[in-house]
Amino acid sequence: MAGRTLYVSDLDGTLMRNNETLSEYTIQTINELVEKGLSFTYATARSVESARPITGGLKLTLPVVTRNGAVLADNTTGEHIKKAVFSDEEVALLKTLLTDIPSCGYVSCFIGEEMIRTTMPGDHTVGLQGYLDYYKDDPTMKYVDSYDEMFCGLPGYVTCIGEKEEIEPIYDRVRAHDCWEVHFQRDTYRDEYWLEICPKNCTKAKSLLQLKKDLGFDRLVVFGDSLNDVSMFQVADEAYAVANARDELKKLATKVIGCNEEDAVAHFLENVRQSRNILEKDLSEKKGERE
């Protein structure tokens, strides 16, 4: 594995362009580098089901970190390799705290190996309705008849979408409890705010450190743009913020690189390969001189 270094990029606003796609250059460059031995994967708040229509062209051999660290998945098949879910006690508490989410959110639940997203029909926030309209033909987006049914199977993630003043009161309610991870921030592409709740200890940082340990890497290099990337920036050996990143993240970065619209991550990785080739050539020449 190339240099025993694991390279990991966030998706939205980092590897992806503002139109929520990967450029042909990024796909081709990363695939060529992975084929030549570069160890690369991505870490995202998206589910693998949401990520794969965008990342399906990437030929990744390593697990991808999804749902902010709650689910490890196979980018090629969409298989959930490892997943975290709320305990029965946590689900009961969530139900008492989130009675208003039928109008602004959905719950990601595991039914066997399938993940579905449940919400209820009715009046929704503009943010949630936009999301539902986007996924109107997705069979994993389910409308249920009752609030309890929103928490069917094994619930593992809760998402609320709306204006800041609509979602912030819910955020204040759930963050008062230390039994889960809570992410609240403005969307990368739109003015709406997203609140995401996942099981305790499910962060990008903890998942990546475990992946690093399990696969025997020595170093971790990450790329990001937003607040949910802070944890992995804090634990990485090197952390690179794209030029369009939040100022809070830039302050934690080893260096600021180009923006997501300029294929900054792919260019960085290509430069890594070129530098490695030069180093290997120099070492080979020096060895020849000694002989």
Strand runs (DSSP E) across the chain, as ranges? Answer: 5-9, 39-42, 64-66, 71-73, 80-83, 105-111, 114-119, 141-143, 154-162, 180-186, 193-199, 219-224, 238-241, 255-256
Q: Which residues contact 217 (CB under 8 A, 6 or more apart)?
A: 1, 4, 5, 6, 39, 211
Tokens of 145: 């008849």
- Whole-angstrom distance, CA of residue 128 vs CA of residue 218: 41
Residue 189: pLDDT over 90: no
Compute the mean pLDDT over every residue in the chain, rounded to the nearest whole number.
Answer: 92
**pLDDT tens digits for range 218-229:** 999 999 999 999
Nearest 10 degrees: CA dihedral of 205, 47, 189, 250?
10
**pLDDT tens digits for range 263-280:** 999 999 999 887 665 434
- The pLDDT, as a whole number, for residue 278 is 42
More confident residue, 88 or 276: 88
Residue type, 264: A
- The pLDDT, as a whole number, for residue 121 is 96
- Whole-angstrom distance, CA of residue 101 vs CA of residue 120: 9
How many Cβ atoms are within 10 Å of 44's Cβ, its own excluded?
26
Residue 286: pLDDT band (50, 70, 90) is very low
Q: In percent, how much of the chain has pLDDT > 70?
A: 93
Average pLDDT over residues 57-84: 95
Beta strand pairing call for 141-143 and 154-162: unpaired
DSSP 43: B
Cβ(220)–Cβ(5) below 8 Å = yes
**pLDDT tens digits for range 97-153:** 999 999 999 999 999 889 999 999 999 999 999 999 999 999 999 999 999 999 999
pTM for this one? 0.85
- The pLDDT, as a whole number, for residue 277 is 54
- The pLDDT, as a whole number, for residue 233 is 97
Average pLDDT over residues 53-71: 95
- Whole-angstrom distance, CA of residue 56 vs CA of residue 51: 8
Q: In percent, how much of the chain has pLDDT > 90?
A: 88
- The pLDDT, as a whole number, for residue 273 is 80
Residue type, 251: K
Tokens of 191: 């003015």
Residue 281: pLDDT over 80: no
Instruction: Name all domains of the chain by residue range, CATH numbers in brackets.
Output: 2-80+203-290 (3.40.50.1000), 88-199 (3.30.1240.10)
More confident residue, 224 or 289: 224
Residue 178: pLDDT over 80: yes
- Whole-angstrom distance, CA of residue 86 vs CA of residue 26: 36
- The pLDDT, as a whole number, for residue 165 is 96
Scanning the structure block, which residue is given the tokens 């998206």? Answer: 46
- The pLDDT, as a whole number, for residue 275 is 66
